[in-house]
Amino acid sequence: MHYYPPPCLWIVIPCYNEESVLPLTAPLFLSEIESLASSGIISSDSRICLVDDGSTDCTWRIISGLVESSSQFVGVALSRNYGHQNALLCGLMEAKSNCDIAISIDCDGQDDIHAIRKMIALFEEGSEIVYGVRSARTTDTWFKRMSAEMFYRAMNKLGANVIFNHADYRLLSKKALNELSKFDERNLFLRGLIPLIGLPSSTVDYERTERIAGKSHYPLKKMLHLAADGITSLSTKPIHFISIAGILFGCIGILGLIWTFVTFILGNSVTGWTSTLSAIFMLGGLQLLSLGTIGEYVGKLYLESKKRPRYIVKERKGELGNE
């Protein structure tokens, strides 16, 4: 055991338009934190930090009610919708100076809260970061399972090292949180950033179940955006691939030139309408793709250079515990 007295835990939960699910899952989080505290695994001033990511429904009203009903809840409202990653970062940064360990989890009940206990045990054994890894995706549709798997494989091929089947359910120690706060980028992809911290880490398997209520905010379009963001914010490999493709097509071009010259000398020049057109389309497409990829990086540079705040807190509610 490297922690005595028991560590203060903050469970960080981003919530966006979750009025249908929050009243069902909040009591589950509360009873888990109470049972952990009563068995002496965590300190009694542990908290559940609910971050309202600019919801347009009653989510903030529900959070305010929870904060009033129990001192274990803390509420943070962002000024508008900043997206899952930014809302999560906000919660983690709120936790940083108040907790010994923080665990981030979604508010929809998909992540098994019983893994929290195992995560804390691994922290006690010396892990600064514990990743929650989905052991089964039996409740997801075939398409979601396939696309998610392709997502992880493509990410790793393109140079963004992410833990397979790990989303944003993880434990971070105070030390890891302090190191995370030094990453100053605006294009946030926490799944890719956290492994870069490089402190001792371990994994906990859990079964991911279906959303208790409400619907996912990550349809295919948003998943693809997240993948593109992850890749372009963590790696420059795609630009490297473009250079390789450029060299490859350059060589093919030279060969083609030699070939036309030879056929010309041999006197059997053909009309070549189809081959000319297909070459134009193919090269045009490749050039547009290359320009687009480079444009993505330039756009990211533009956003990074502005140094805009990653989120703005509108309101805070609740007692922090150790003040």
Which residues contact Mg ion (rule: CB under 5 A)? 106, 108, 110
Cβ pair 45, 8 in contact under 8 A: yes
The least distance separating Mg ion from the CB of residue 152, rounded to whole angstroms, comes to: 17
Q: How far is CA 209 from CA 17, 74, 107, 113, 170, in A?
A: 20, 26, 13, 11, 17
Q: Which is nearer to ligand UDP, 199 or 223 (CB)?
A: 223
45 makes contact, choosing from Mg ion, ligand UDP, none, with CB < 5 to 8 Å by partner type, with none
Q: Which does 151 bind (CB under 5 to 8 A by kind): ligand UDP, Mg ion, none?
A: none
Answer with the entry of ligand UDP, Mg ion, none that 293 interacts with (C-beta below 5 to 8 A by kind): none
Nearer to ligand UDP, 63 or 177 (CB): 63
Q: Within the chain, where are the H helices?
A: 22-38, 59-69, 84-96, 115-124, 142-157, 174-180, 190-197, 220-234, 237-266, 273-306
Cβ proximity to ligand UDP, 107 vs 171, nearer residue: 107
Exposed/middle/buried for 200, CB within 10 Å: 0-12, 13-18, 19+?
middle
Q: Which of the listed partners (Mg ion, ligand UDP, none) does 103 bind, with a CB threshold of 5 to 8 Å by partner kind?
A: none
CA–CA dist 7, 1 (Å, integer): 11
Q: How far is the CB of 41 from ligand UDP (least distance, A)?
A: 24
CB closer to Mg ion out of 218 and 241:
218
- The answer to whether 192 and 232 have CB atoms below 8 angstroms apart is no
Q: Choose the contact partner of 311 out of Mg ion, ligand UDP, none; CB within 5 to 8 A by kind.
A: none
Q: Which two tokens stand for residue 318?
A: 């609740």
Tell me the residue nearest to Mg ion as measured from the CB. 108
Q: How far is the CB of 183 from ligand UDP (least distance, A)?
A: 19
Least distance in Å: CB of 17 to Mg ion? 12
In order, the DSSP letters of 204-238 are EEEE----SSS--S--HHHHHHHHHHHHHHH--HH
- Binding partner selected for residue 218 from ligand UDP, Mg ion, none, CB under the kind-specific 5 to 8 Å limit: ligand UDP
Is residue 128 within 8 A of residue 201, CB to CB? The reply is yes
Q: Which is nearer to ligand UDP, 215 or 240 (CB)?
A: 215
Whichever of 106 and 128 has its CB closer to Mg ion, that residue is 106
- Minimal distance in Å, beta carbon 81 to Mg ion? 16
CB nearer to Mg ion: give 149 or 315. 149
How many degrees, rounded to 5, is the angle at CA 43 between CA 37 and CA 47?
85
DSSP codes joined into one string, 59-90: HHHHHHHHHHH-TTEEEEEESS---HHHHHHH
Residues that bind ligand UDP (CB under 6 A): 14-16, 18, 53, 81, 83-84, 87, 106-108, 110, 216-218
